[in-house]
Amino acid sequence: MRIVHIANFYGPRSGGIRTAMHAMATQYLRHGHEPVLVVPGERDSVAHRDGVRLITVAAPRAPFSGGYRVVVRPGKVRRLLEALEPDRLEVSDRTTLTSLGDWARAEGVPSLAMLHERVDGVLRAWFPGSRPDGPVAAMRASAAPRFADRYNLATLPRFDRLVATTAFAAGEVERLRHRTRSVELPPLTRVPLGVDLELFRPDRYDDDFRAQYAEPGTTLIVTASRISQEKRVDLAVDAAAQVMRDGRRVRLVVAGAGPLLPAMRDRATAAGLPHKFLSFVPDRERLATLLSCADVVVAPGPIETFGLAALEALASGTPVVCSSTSALPEVVGTAGAAAPPDPAALAVAIHDVLDRDPVRRRAGARSRAELFPWSATGEAMLALHGRRSFEDVPGIPATSINDVALAANQP
């Protein structure tokens, strides 16, 4: 099969979507299929990466996105699809590319939408407001689900199937399904993402490398995240500062770029927190070594729908502290700790993790990550694509995400 995967918000420094697209394409290729990736970029181009065709469509930068590009001429992509003649279509976008579902249906091409984000979560993160307990925040909390429901009703039925990576990611679709009977929503399947268990592993730990970032006797706290509004890196900074005030010697290292990087650096300095902001780390092996050398990784994003960076930390043998309002507790399990997205609460969770036996916490983190190989993701996705249509593929109930690959292969 020729499986075409199209996405927005993909770039040289993008994280989860970029990683997932290429990892899934590699799995398709290994199973004898032809994956084609279509992404926005500065100019039109065609390249090959590890045997996978990568087609770039010229697209402008999205305002306030920190450099992400978004296709604003979907007609151009439709013409490209006509030339590619895909057997299956995957779309990782909730904005300008949703009309491609209509194209696929008209052409008889089975299509699916990958739900990498929640519309209601994005609205809450970006709606203007200041104090989280203020009137604007209250209006935002009540209005976001209503707007998201209307938007999802208008866009999601264009596709034959929806794929969510976690129960949290599927949540707004399940809510919508219960609230309305007027529009039939596509079946929903849960397929978790994976992690490169060869690249990210505990034996990358290196004393000399760690010494570059933390002196002996110092707790190394790492955050690997894009530094933008919705990621809430400020929570990691403030939580690490609280841990320091509680009496631990700590140093915070942040791997990631984004529009709020200068503000976060100033925030850490003002708190008197020893820190280092690395910006984007293009060398994946260096990032893997950093994660393996950390004592704890903080993943503070309150609306994360999966959290690949957190899973990479677990694979590296490092426990993760995350926000309980996100999907990350589903991924992290007991190999870390979850707390409300509040600096004091996250600091308590960090202490909890650091007080555990170091050998056991590293072994537990790695064991948890081994439940998420990319091979399982590829097999689950191909189980969907292997049908002549998606109509007879059962959705997966919101149970344990570790059963997804097995359930997706059931007849």
Kindly state whether residues 116 and 157 are assigned to the same domain.
yes
- Best CA proximity match to 332, nearest among 308, 356, 357: 308
| 364 lies in the same domain as 391 | no
Same domain (yes/no): 186, 83: yes
CA pair distance 21, 120, nearest whole angstrom: 24
- At 38, the amino acid letter reads V
Q: Are residues 392 and 364 in the same domain?
A: no
Looking at 231-286, which runs of residues are DSSP E strands?
250-255, 275-279
> 173 and 125 in one domain?
yes
φ/ψ of 337, rounded to 5, equals -155, 150
Whether residue 343 sits in one domain with residue 209: yes
Instruction: Tell me: do 154 and 12 sit in the same domain.
Output: yes
Provide the token pair at 231: 């990621």
The tens place of each residue's pLDDT in the chain, 411 residues long, gives 999 999 998 876 667 889 999 999 999 999 999 999 999 999 999 999 999 999 999 999 887 666 788 999 999 999 999 999 999 999 999 999 999 999 999 999 999 999 998 998 888 876 644 444 455 555 455 688 889 999 999 999 999 999 999 999 999 999 998 887 767 899 999 999 999 999 999 999 999 999 999 999 999 999 999 999 999 999 999 999 999 999 999 999 999 999 999 999 999 999 999 999 999 999 999 999 999 999 999 999 999 999 999 999 999 999 999 999 999 999 999 999 999 999 999 999 999 999 999 999 999 999 999 999 999 999 999 999 985 444 433 333 333 333 333 333 332
* String of DSSP letters for 191-212: ----B-TTTS-GGG--HHHHHT
What is the pLDDT at residue 352? Answer: 97
pLDDT at position 126, please?
Answer: 66
Cα distances from 276 to residues 36, 120, 333, in angstroms, run: 38, 33, 29
The pLDDT value recorded for residue 387 is 55
Say yes or no: 232 and 362 in one domain: yes
Same domain, 89 and 191: yes
**In 48-134, alpha helices (H):** 74-84, 100-107, 119-126
Domain of residue 359, CATH code: 3.40.50.2000
CA–CA separation, 262 and 233 (whole Å): 12
CA-to-CA distance for 192 and 180, rounded, in angstroms?
Answer: 27
Domain tally, the chain: 2
> Looking at residue 6, what DSSP letter applies?
E
Which of 174, 63, 197, 72 has its CA nearest to residue 115?
174
Residues 164 and 35 occupy one common structural domain = yes
Q: Which domain holds residue 219?
A: 202-369
Q: Are 69 and 47 spatial neighbours (Cβ–Cβ below 8 Å)?
A: no
**Do residue 11 and residue 134 come from a single domain?**
yes
Contacts of 141 (CB under 8 A, 6+ apart): 124
Whole-angstrom Cα distance, residue 203 to residue 316? 8
123 and 173 belong to one structural domain: yes
Predicted TM-score (pTM) of the model is: 0.89
How far is it, in rounded angstroms, from Cα 250 to Cα 166? 32
